[in-house]
Structure 1
Amino acid sequence: MTVMTATTHPLRLRNFRLLFVSRTMSTLSDALVPTALSLAIVHVTGSATMLAVVLGCALGTRLVLLPVAGAVADRFDTRKVALVADLTRMVTQAVVAVELLGDDPSVVVIAVAQAVAGAASAVGLSNLSPLVTKSVPASGGQRIKANSLMGVAKSVSLLAGPALAGALIFAVGFGWVFVADATAFGVSATLMLLIRLEEGADETNGSTAGPGARRSIRADLSEGFKEVRARDWYWTSLIAHAVWNFVANVLLTLGPLIAVKRLGGEGSWVAVTQAGGVGLLLGSLVSGWARPKRPVLVGNIALATYALPLTLFAVGAPVPLLVAGYGIALAALGFLNPTWDTAVQAVIPQSTLARVSSYDWLVSLAAQPLGVILAPVALSLWGERVPFAAAAVLVAVVCVGTAAVPGVRRLRLDYAALAQPAPTAEPAPQPAPRPEAEAAPEAEAETGAETVRSGGKGAGATA
């Protein structure tokens, strides 16, 4: 067994290596589905309504079941929960493959399969952060690298998934895409079987309630919500992240229309989105070595850069500037996600981490359809420029505005301390903040600013 030290790279740990490859396969499989499923349904039915129904089944169940999925992930063995989620998605995509390879595919069967897959996806989203903390257990200091690697894998999957789906459809047809998708989930599940997480590997952050606690799901959901509500830095950041997702979908809805009408056609929009994919990847890479002392504050302010491409669209900037602006904005997102995950994993008790993560995903994902729905309405009422300009002001004000929240400013990560092995006993509570702490920031560690150390449980951070 590899002993974790301050210089150990996460990929030298067997459990994390297996987890990384498993989650990469799972993420890539998820990235294949939207493109392949959309084209398959259009090919089979030729109906936009049926396409909306099928996609809605997958997205709807994932959104509705996220809180429950978080409670399930906290209640039972983390590895087994991930294994069941992967096996479920393997079966559902195999069902879709069988339907599409047959002579008369049933859209109802495909829709039901995608609804079940959406529920399993909700479990997978909620369960990822606990898996990382258990696979990199001895040190929070290396988790920023682990989270960065996860971010890189996600970025590459989002870039490669649609292109790979298109290539497979062209080469072998729709049904075989889902055969490949089911196979990838099967490989991911097999790797999860090989992971061996020791009992107590997740005993960080002062957790008091372990998996399998005998209480109702409702009580579990309530406890997770209390963890969110008790930390001003967390719930205010979720609002900022929801606003980011809202305005991002305003741009993703109106951007293609503007590109086709006055920016030279579809190729200009493709260039913008590809720049975003590259930016997302670069931001994830940068997060692996960046060590912001105030990670939530820095990450939220970085998200405000999404105002840049929105402003450029509002003023009718040329395509090269739009490409650069969108790349910068998505690089900020790539940087935020691993940085945010590391802060959350260092502060939130392990026993509620999946539930807290599920609320995070719920708020973020719920905001996305609002942007898609309201953007065309705003366009019809006020024209092209107003929706972009209003969205730019909104995201800048809300994301930068989190700096006014005391918890956002005070939450700090002590990376040197996090690199040390976790203590066996819960650390003594820190003294309460004094009013003069903000007047003397250089003395915050002495005056109650929340500094996260190895195994520390704070009182207090995805777009």
Structure 2
Amino acid sequence: MTLGRDFRLLWLGRTLSDTGDYVIPAALAIAVVQATESAGALALVLACATVPRLLLLPLGGVVGDRWSPRQIALLADLARAGTQLVIGIELVLGAFRLTDLAVAAALAGAASAFALPTASPLVAGTTGVADRARANTLLGISRAAARVVGPALGGALVLTVGSGWAFLLDAATFAVSAAILAILRPAPVPARSGAGARPGLLRDLADGWSELRRHRWFPVSLVGHATWNLAAAVLLSLGPVIVIRDLGGERTWVALLQAGALGLLVGSLLASRTGGTGRFRLRVERPVLMANLGLALYALPLVLLAVRAPGYALIGGYALALAGLGFLNPVWETAVQQHIPADRLARVSAYDILVSLAAMPLGYALAPLAAREFGTTVPLLLTAVLVFVTTAGTAAVPAVRRLRTEPVVPAPEVPGPSAPGAPDHDPPVARPDPVRPAPGPA
């Protein structure tokens, strides 16, 4: 069965914008360093992008559930196209100013806080229940491919025509994505039965968090996802120094990053075999359990780095670990879309992203401090234990073990007024109504 027109358009827009986003890191770093020769300036720009995103994510989830996810995503793409266009023009004209870049980064980060929670509702609105696993794996594969192609394209642009053109390319991808969203026609989110006056912001935020906690497999898994991101920050903070100094130099580190990108792609391809029919179908009846066990593989490169294993072993271990992430992302997205009611999906997705990604700045901050006090081996081994226990340990939770690919469809709610404070039941799941990272880990 072929995925429908609306999803194919959504996939095209997401693939283009993902590729543009992966072009930017190299261009951003080179532009800031060339203009300021300061690592602190680069850290400032990155912080300007990250802090608004994290602070505004819960609000973005509320907005995504209250209004049309398509319209919110369209406006966010237009905003990000504008910020990248301004910086690109400044760089091309040689009129770059750090203040402008910091402001543009903050605006783009704020826009992404509203765009990210719409990803799952848009997938759910453009696919049927039976097609969501295939849709999410296709998005996962294209995202992993963009992670391989984007940096290479970014490097080529920076070395040939300059950093500004990388920003202009990113602006163009956001503009095309916005144009695609303008003609997209996702299925509307069904109204909650018995709904009266629209609740306030705090009530909406509380309802989203309550919905997340109601599914016991969700918060348990989310702890593991957050720990994975913390561990990734530790490895990316301490790894370059160790590898460049002791394990083969810059080429080994570049090879490790490329192997990780390829591993991510392989994991996404593996996830694509878990749905549908066919000769090489991989039967996975407990998807969240298997995906969490895949994340536990990240303990391997942490241990190998701690014991100063040979470069080839570390590269292989990192590729295997990222394959676990590539497998988790589409499988987790599908489970969330199948089990979370459509009218709360954006809020739950926002909390998912917030908790997962907020652990990364913590890892970046703590890793150098711990290394200075105890050496690099202790934080690496400690983080390996933490990520293994919190991800593989979810196997001990009955709600994780029992969760199946297909959700249990609740009895339909009888229309009528609801008593104040009465629990809301999930609407029937078999409706045509949506990404770690994250969407699980990033």
Same fold (TM over 0.5): yes
Shift of 1:20: 0.1
Shift of 1:428: 5.6
Percent of aligned positions with the same letter in both sequences? Answer: 48
- Residues 77-111 of structure 1: CA distance to partner in whole angstroms, max 9, x if unpaired? 12111111111111111111222233432221221
Contact 1:62 1:119 in 2 (8 A): yes
Q: Aligned partners of 2:376 and 2:42: how far apart in 1?
A: 28
Identify the residue that residue 113 of structure 2 maps to in structure 1. Answer: 122
Uncovered stretches (5+) of structure 2, i.e. residues with no partner: 275-282, 414-427, 434-438
- Residues 16-64 of structure 1: CA distance to partner in whole angstroms, max 9, x if unpaired? 0100001111212222222211211111122222221111111111111
Q: How many residues align?
A: 415
Superposed CA RMSD = 2.4
Uncovered stretches (5+) of structure 1, i.e. residues with no partner: 1-7, 418-422, 430-451
Shift of 1:311: 1.4
Output the amino acid matched with 1:221: L
1:80 is aligned, of 71, 79, 82, to: 71
Identify the residue that residue 245 of structure 2 maps to in structure 1. Answer: 261
Identify the residue that residue 2 of structure 2 maps to in structure 1. Answer: 9
Identify the residue that residue 379 of structure 2 maps to in structure 1. Answer: 387
Alignment of structure 1 residues 343-358 onto 2, 5 Å: 343-358=335-350
Contact 2:129 2:432 in 1 (8 A): no
1:409 is aligned, of 392, 401, 406, to: 401
1:287 is aligned, of 247, 267, 271, to: 271
Contact 1:71 1:217 in 2 (8 A): yes
Output the amino acid matched with 1:314: A
Identify the residue that residue 361 of structure 1 maps to in structure 2. Answer: 353
Contact 2:84 2:170 in 1 (8 A): yes
Alignment of structure 1 residues 65-214 onto 2, 5 Å: 65-136=56-127, 139-198=128-187, 200=188, 202-203=189-190, 208=192, 214=198
Q: 1:455 to 1:294 in 2, by over 3 A?
A: farther
Q: Secondary structure at the match of 1:275?
A: helix
Identify the residue that residue 307 of structure 1 maps to in structure 2. Answer: 299
Q: Aligned partners of 1:403 and 1:209: how far apart in 2?
A: 36
Q: Which runs of 4+ in 1 moved over 4 A?
A: 209-213
State the TM-score, normalizing by the size of structure 1.
Answer: 0.85
Shift of 1:264: 1.3
Contact 1:240 1:398 in 2 (8 A): yes
Contact 1:75 1:212 in 2 (8 A): no
- Residues 409-440 of structure 1: CA distance to partner in whole angstroms, max 9, x if unpaired? 2211239x9xxxxx9xx6369xxxxxxxxxxx
Output the amino acid matched with 2:162: G
The more displaced of 332-341 and 290-299 is 290-299
Q: 1:213 to 1:371 in 2, by over 3 A?
A: farther
- Residues 160-207 of structure 1: CA distance to partner in whole angstroms, max 9, x if unpaired? 222211111122112222122111111111111121224x4x44xxx6
Output the amino acid matched with 1:224: G
Identify the residue that residue 297 of structure 1 maps to in structure 2. Answer: 289
Q: Aligned partners of 2:265 and 2:28: how far apart in 1?
A: 25
Shift of 1:261: 1.2
Q: Secondary structure at the match of 1:413?
A: coil
Identify the residue that residue 444 of structure 1 maps to in structure 2. Answer: none
Output the amino acid matched with 1:265: G
Q: 1:462 to 1:77 in 2, by over 3 A?
A: same
The more displaced of 330-339 and 117-126 is 117-126
Q: Secondary structure at the match of 1:142?
A: helix
Shift of 1:462: 0.9
Contact 1:247 1:371 in 2 (8 A): yes
Contact 1:209 1:351 in 2 (8 A): no
Q: Aligned partners of 2:376 and 2:206: how far apart in 1?
A: 43
Q: Aligned partners of 1:16 and 1:331: how far apart in 2?
A: 25
Contact 1:9 1:145 in 2 (8 A): no
Contact 2:304 2:314 in 1 (8 A): yes
Identify the residue that residue 420 of structure 1 maps to in structure 2. Answer: none
Q: Aligned partners of 2:138 and 2:196: how far apart in 1?
A: 30
Contact 1:284 1:338 in 2 (8 A): yes
Q: Aligned partners of 1:213 and 1:265: how far apart in 2?
A: 62
Structure 1 residue 237 corresponds to structure 2 residue 233: no
- Residues 294-322 of structure 1: CA distance to partner in whole angstroms, max 9, x if unpaired? 11111111111111111111222111111
Output the amino acid matched with 2:172: T
Contact 2:60 2:350 in 1 (8 A): yes
Q: Secondary structure at the match of 1:293?
A: coil
Q: Aligned partners of 1:75 and 1:213: how far apart in 2?
A: 12
Q: Secondary structure at the match of 2:130?
A: coil
Alignment of structure 1 residues 432-443 onto 2, 5 Å: none
State the TM-score, normalizing by the size of structure 2.
Answer: 0.89
Contact 1:76 1:212 in 2 (8 A): no
